[in-house]
Structure 1
């Protein structure tokens, strides 16, 4: 009996010793799991599927001229980088002059919906490589192809039509002052007429495109082009 009791006592002692050793291991495991879960929770937002947002504006050099342009306004992904470029194409809503929202995907259900009116002004920054300046073209080239008569279309804006059979046939030239505006516009046909207005800044030509229908408020359009130019090129201290 004594031997049996001793054996039972030793067995119970052995089990208690094993349990005593397992308790710290279990506690350590729980603490480690909690620490891992905490770190995973804190880091989880960086593992999301949302793309990282880039800088709001980036510096680009076009024709050696430095512009600071809104990244979201750049129309082509390949142009969304800083540094020298031959050309950068942008779009802004009008009259807010903000980068446009992303276009909705066109499906078979929406392709036949009524087209929305154009509410954007398009801007291209292009290295001119010493080509004829826009103001020189207005003074020396266009007059050869313009009709002699000038028509006042209202609010200080004058129009001259290009002659038929010339390289600019089917277009009209508009000019106004205060603020200054010179624009060459196609006429409304199957598609709405569009206007092109150019200006040179150092080594780049800045080309604006907008609907001809906006000329009813041409002073606002001219002021908007001046504001966009100042925002992208304004002298920085």
Structure 2
């Protein structure tokens, strides 16, 4: 009689339980990743870095980015030495000789046979847009609240519109031509004040403010043309 081999019964191992990820795991992981990336970016921005060495004043134009807008500016025209380097900056202070629009050169004493007048300067400030209303909007919606009702004639067809006393622009005039292509805000001349004019332009996300003596209004058409030439020189591809 054939013997039957009895094999011990194999014990069944309990099945492993599968853990299912909860519905909040994925969003939490994404949020954590975003926090890590944000922290890394803030650390990179705030990490102290040595500034670039200033460029020599006799170097050719260098690309300077303000508010994402690139300007090609001669280092000699940059008034503050620490700003004389390529790359991104929050503001640039500039000066040019007038009317030649040449960068100031301490070694240059004569231009076109005439002595250089150190006071003949066209100044400019390029800075990131601070969120203020564009000039056209201010002329339309802000300035009329503070302007007087009387107008005066200025040099060579300009219109002089005074601001009223006891307003934020007291002591200033809005000066413009008939087309308002040339429009500037000027302080009035006084005993100790020769008067200064501010003319604004917008370039991308950067604001450009030109500053010049009020007496230049007698030659305002050349002033306007000179400012146009500078803007074209700084941004030749626009």
**Which string of whole-angstrom CA distances, capped at 9 and with x for unpartnered residues, describes residues 24-78 of structure 1?**
xxxxxxxxxxxxxxxxxxxxxxxxxxx9666211100001001100110000011
Write out the 4+ residue segments of structure 1 that deviate beyond 3 Å after TM superposition: 51-54
Q: Is 2:204 aligned against 1:202?
A: yes
Residue correspondence of structure 1 range 53-202 to structure 2 within 5 A: 55-102=59-106, 118-177=119-178, 180-189=181-190, 190-202=192-204
Paired residue total: 175
TM-score normalised by L of structure 1: 0.69
RMSD over aligned CA atoms reads 2.2
Secondary structure of the structure 2 residue equivalent to 1:155: helix
State the alpha-carbon separation in 2 of the partners of residues 231 and 177 from structure 1: 27
More helix by share: 1
Unaligned runs of 5+ in 2: 1-54, 109-116
TM-score normalised by L of structure 2: 0.68
State the alpha-carbon separation in 2 of the partners of residues 220 and 53 from structure 1: 27
- CA deviation after TM superposition for structure 1 residue 130, in Å: 3.4
State the alpha-carbon separation in 2 of the partners of residues 52 and 219 from structure 1: 34
Which deviates the most, 116-125 or 152-161? Answer: 116-125
- CA deviation after TM superposition for structure 1 residue 234, in Å: 2.4
Q: Is 2:224 aligned against 1:222?
A: yes
Greater radius of gyration (CA):
1
Secondary structure of the structure 1 residue equivalent to 2:218: helix
State the alpha-carbon separation in 1 of the partners of residues 80 and 106 from structure 2: 12
CA contact (8 A) 1:63 1:129 kept: no
